[in-house]
Amino acid sequence: MNILLLYDTIEGQTGKISRHINERLGNAGYDVQIVNTSDEDLEVSFDEVDKVILAAPVHERRHPRSFEGTVTAYCEDLAAHDTLMISVSLKAAFESGLEEAQEYLSEMEMRTGFAPTQEALVAGAVRRDSYDYFESQVLRHVLLADQDVNLADGDREFTDWVALDATVDEFLENDA
């Protein structure tokens, strides 16, 4: 089976997730074409593609513009395939944030005009050294407000790799 994996990353966690999926599926015998939508000379081919996995992080309530632009530009091609959209956010790490994480995805679908076959809200990570003072305050007092998370020990990864693998496996096994 031929899989097209379109992704974008900002701080690196969605890139890590995409590389994990690419390696895991490649080892399982899938033919995976992985494309970063932020590449300036982006060319996407849907020739012989059986299914598409999309992955992008959420920052300031939206997915990267380059990612959303790619989804918009290839909307018809994407609609012709089974698609799994992996939306990566800190809100998805906590039960109390899942509704808001879903809103981010719904807003992206409204902006791009594209609705994937399947959706997954995946928890991201905190990279302490990636934030300036303002961003660190938003992280602490907005994104992680009311959460029992201690960032004093450094970076914190919230991604549930077992659940992610199960979601991808289920998507690949099912015919939409």
What are 93-104's pLDDT values in tens digits? 888 889 999 999
Residue 145 lies in a domain: no
Residue 6 lies in a domain: yes
Residue 90 lies in a domain: yes
**Residue-number span of the structural domain to which 55 is assigned:** 2-125+159-173
What is the Cβ-side half-sphere exposure of residue 40, based on CA atoms within 13 angstroms? 0
In terms of DSSP bridges, do strands 118-123 and 156-157 run parallel, antiparallel, or are they unpaired? Answer: unpaired
Q: What is the pLDDT of residues 42-94, one digit of tens each?
A: 889 999 999 999 999 998 889 999 999 999 999 999 999 999 999 999 889 88
DSSP H or E segment with residue 103:
helix 98-112
Whichever domain contains 76, its CATH number is 3.40.50.360
Residue 130 lies in a domain: no
In terms of DSSP bridges, do strands 125-126 and 82-89 run parallel, antiparallel, or are they unpaired? Answer: unpaired
Residue 66 lies in a domain: yes
Work out how many domains the chain is built from and give that number. Answer: 1
Determine the pLDDT at residue 93: 85
| Residue partners of 166: CB distance under 8 A and separation at least 6 | none
Task: Assign 147 a pLDDT band (cuts: 50, 70, 90).
Answer: low
Residue 52 lies in a domain: yes
Integer Rg of the chain from CA:
16
Residue 32 lies in a domain: yes
Residue 61 lies in a domain: yes
Can you read off the two tokens belonging to residue 102?
Answer: 């879903």
